Amino acid sequence: MNNVSIIGIGLIGSSIARAIKDINNKTEINIVDSDVSNLKSSEHLALGNSYHTAINQELEKSEVIFICTPISTYENIFLELNKLKLDDCIITDVGSSKIQVIEKAKKFLKNKIFVPGHPIAGTEKSGPENGFKELFKDRWFISTPCEICEENHVKKINDLWKNFGSQIETMSPKDHDSIMAITSHIPHLIAYNIVGTANDLEEDIKSEVIKFSASGFRDFTRIASSDPTMWRDIMLSNKNEIISMLNKFNNDLKKVMEAIQNDDGKFLYDKFKKTKEIREKIIKEGLE
Amino acid sequence: MNNVSIIGIGLIGSSIARAIKDINNKTEINIVDSDVSNLKSSEHLALGNSYHTAINQELEKSEVIFICTPISTYENIFLELNKLKLDDCIITDVGSSKIQVIEKAKKFLKNKIFVPGHPIAGTEKSGPENGFKELFKDRWFISTPCEICEENHVKKINDLWKNFGSQIETMSPKDHDSIMAITSHIPHLIAYNIVGTANDLEEDIKSEVIKFSASGFRDFTRIASSDPTMWRDIMLSNKNEIISMLNKFNNDLKKVMEAIQNDDGKFLYDKFKKTKEIREKIIKEGLE
């Protein structure tokens, strides 16, 4: 590849920049970010070749444009990209929900090539300084091709991610959004919620909560320290799947609360024992 | 110390045995466990000097008896200990809830010395083979003295835990149970619950959940793989604090769900941003 653009130079965008430069140092990378401090950091880190606070004609040279911004910005980005001549350029994204992203692409992108994607990688840290070139190595890249995608374009994006070290999995946008609701979106939502509940306690007990956080709570605070804008947008963009799965979670939690209230030790034991199976499968498949 | 007994040779009991032997190899340790395979493992690992499937008169030589079993067994253990002559022996425990433990000690122990305790240490693994002598090093030991405790006995138990490398914190049983509800019991309950919800999904989606568990869910499966008997007993023995805190959690979650339903991005952003503060305090205090 000779020329690539990255819109949004956070953790994921900056890791893509590093991975591309690692493969071919000569690939020109245009970095676009409306956040001037992010842009300056990425220039300081020499992540790209040109730096822009807004989408402009420089991007017309690109073979691929990666959108790595929160999902609420997509509409504007698509409208800006419509102003450019991007005949053979593939526009792709890394957003954590796919049904709504594809709907937006269909609605707002005019005569452009779009391939939706989602790398299952990240840390709780954000910003260009926290990215690294191996972020995608041995991680999944989920491809969710849809009726507006052509096979050769999907293949080109998949090949790119293979070069970043990822394994490719293809599924429907709907399956993607269901699976992400339970494996990622709800765990984050629950973690934000439990840390929020603790945050509302009185000051004296709150300092004790921090002191004794090692007993389980700390893991939730790590998950709940992820970027708030990104997660706000994920929750809103996958609301149907999240609400439907949260209703299941709430029904289950209600039963557990009733069992505690009624001293139903058998119910609790059976429930706590059953969940070990999933853990054992994760360990068996070498995923931990 | 010349002679110590440990009732229940799981992760915590076996770590205590190792820590004691590390301090003074000559201390005689009597190990009691009704689970013959645990007892055999501990003998194979040479964790003690004598091995017993039940409480018996051998324990009368002990200066300290550690109860390291699930809380539902305490009543029977106290009744068995009542049959022994234990004039100067301190009976202590490591249970994760303290109000109910102290009530049981008051009700069932007759003319015995009891000092409640709780080391904030553990892993998701159980059994004597998973213990290690440094488990309590640089971790908190919470002392919750009550009206049945004499100061010199509390001091002796605290000194013991200091020798294991722990830092001592003293608080009321009520404060202990509130703080543990939010930092430990509810995180475990929520983790068990979310893994349970995933476990009830159809088989085809379940295998995908395991495959993509790295995106948040995996951390919950680790927490939810802890010993089911122990956690059943913790939930039931601290039910008032847990139910009260879960009601707060549920009210908060209801508001989050409404915000998602109503596309209230501001509410979500503010909530997600606020929780970062607790995380920053944990990192600042060197607790991560």
> Within a 10 A sphere around the Cβ of B159, how many other Cβ atoms?
10
What's the pLDDT at B186? 95
What's the pLDDT at B285? 81
CB nearest A192 (choices: B217, B226, B272): B272
What's the pLDDT at B206? 85
Q: What pLDDT band is residue A81 in, cutting at 50, 70 and 90?
A: very high
Residue at which a domain ends, from A171, A194, A222: A171
Two tokens, residue A102: 């594809």
CATH number at residue A265: 1.10.3660.10
pLDDT in tens, chain B (288 residues): 999 999 999 999 999 999 999 999 999 999 999 999 999 999 999 999 999 999 999 999 999 999 999 999 999 999 999 999 999 999 999 999 999 999 999 999 999 999 999 999 988 889 999 999 999 999 999 999 988 999 999 999 999 999 999 999 999 999 999 999 999 999 999 999 999 999 888 888 888 898 898 878 988 998 888 899 999 999 999 999 999 999 999 999 999 999 999 999 999 999 999 888 888 888 888 777
Is A98 found in the same domain as A161? yes
Q: What pLDDT band is residue A122 in, cutting at 50, 70 and 90?
A: confident
Is A100 found in the same domain as A63? yes
CATH number at residue B121: 3.40.50.720
Is B179 found in the same domain as B146? no
CB nearest A179 (choices: B186, B209, B246): B209
Is A263 found in the same domain as A212? yes
Average pLDDT over residues A5-12: 97
Is A122 found in the same domain as A202? no
Cβ-based contacts under 8 A for chains A and B: 287
Is B212 found in the same domain as B155? no
Greater confidence (A12 vs B284) lies with A12
CB nearest B198 (choices: A140, A269, A278): A278
B170 in A contact zone (CB under 8 Å) = no
Bridging pattern class, strands A64-67 and A3-7 = parallel
Is A271 found in the same domain as A238? yes
- Expressed as residue numbers, the domain containing A210 is 175-284
- Percent above pLDDT 90 for chain A: 83
What's the pLDDT at A103? 97
Residue at which a domain ends, from B171, B199, B221: B171
The total number of structural domains in chain B stands at 2
B141 in A contact zone (CB under 8 Å) = no
CB contact under 8 A, B179 and A212: yes
What's the pLDDT at B164? 98
Is B266 found in the same domain as B213? yes
Is A136 found in the same domain as A107? yes
Residue B77's closest CA among B134, B32, B11, B16?
B32
Is A149 found in the same domain as A10? yes
Contacts of A72 in chain B (CB under 8 A): 265
Mean pLDDT of chain A: 95
Is B70 found in the same domain as B33? yes
Contacts of B256 in chain A (CB under 8 A): 189, 192-193
Average pLDDT over residues A81-99: 97
Is A19 found in the same domain as A156? yes
Residue A138, pLDDT above cutoff 80: yes
Residue at which a domain ends, from B171, B202, B227: B171
A137 in B contact zone (CB under 8 Å) = no
Distance from CA of B252 to the nearest CA of A (A): 7
